Homo-oligomer: A and B are copies of this chain.
């Protein structure tokens, strides 16, 4: 079970699960009212390119609860990084995503859940830290039939301690086509990036630091380089 957002981290995570660790992978994405729906098209293409057995997209109603610039059109996406937890934080998003992953993993009788969460570039999101993942694992062990049976579903977060440049090098080495991935918070319908939001800046700096060409498709005149 691999959580696949359509961004570069989860694409690299799927490549690790499938190509390095040799698992037969089922990929799960969420349509949660995010503004950047081009991510979902990207996720479907990535799942196909990396040979996932199955890719499902669940519709969930996080946007109906409001509270984030990523799902609520009344809150602007900032173009300058601020301090503290950013307005792009979606309340309890990773908890909701991992909960559905746990449900599907139980139905599939999957041994592992892979998530591309990352503490280095987490930009202040509390639910991307290793201590959070460890606490989710303990909760999951108590929540599930497999946990009760002594065969808990194990969370794998292989990118947790890696910087963006490391992730890009790792993914490139496993044959991930990053031109297909979408990181931008305000990508256009084709997936072309704005070049200005936090996610675009981090991504571009990652390519530069990795010493690789930035293959991102940018909207006209928005290339950050």
How many A residues face the partner with a CB closer than 8 A? 44
Closest chain B residue to A93, Cβ basis: B103
Total copies of the chain: 2
A21 contacts the other chain (Cβ, under 8 Å)? no
A91 contacts the other chain (Cβ, under 8 Å)? yes
User: How many Å from the CB of A4 to the closest CB on chain B?
Assistant: 16
A148 contacts the other chain (Cβ, under 8 Å)? yes
**CB pairs A–B below 8 angstroms (21 shown):** A59-B59, A60-B60, A62-B103, A65-B107, A67-B103, A90-B103, A92-B103, A92-B143, A93-B103, A95-B102, A95-B103, A95-B143, A96-B96, A126-B142, A127-B143, A131-B142, A135-B142, A135-B143, A136-B143, A138-B139, A139-B139
Which residues of A pack against B, CB within 8 Å? Answer: 56, 58-62, 64-67, 85, 89-96, 98-100, 102-104, 106-107, 126-127, 129, 131-132, 135-136, 138-145, 147-148
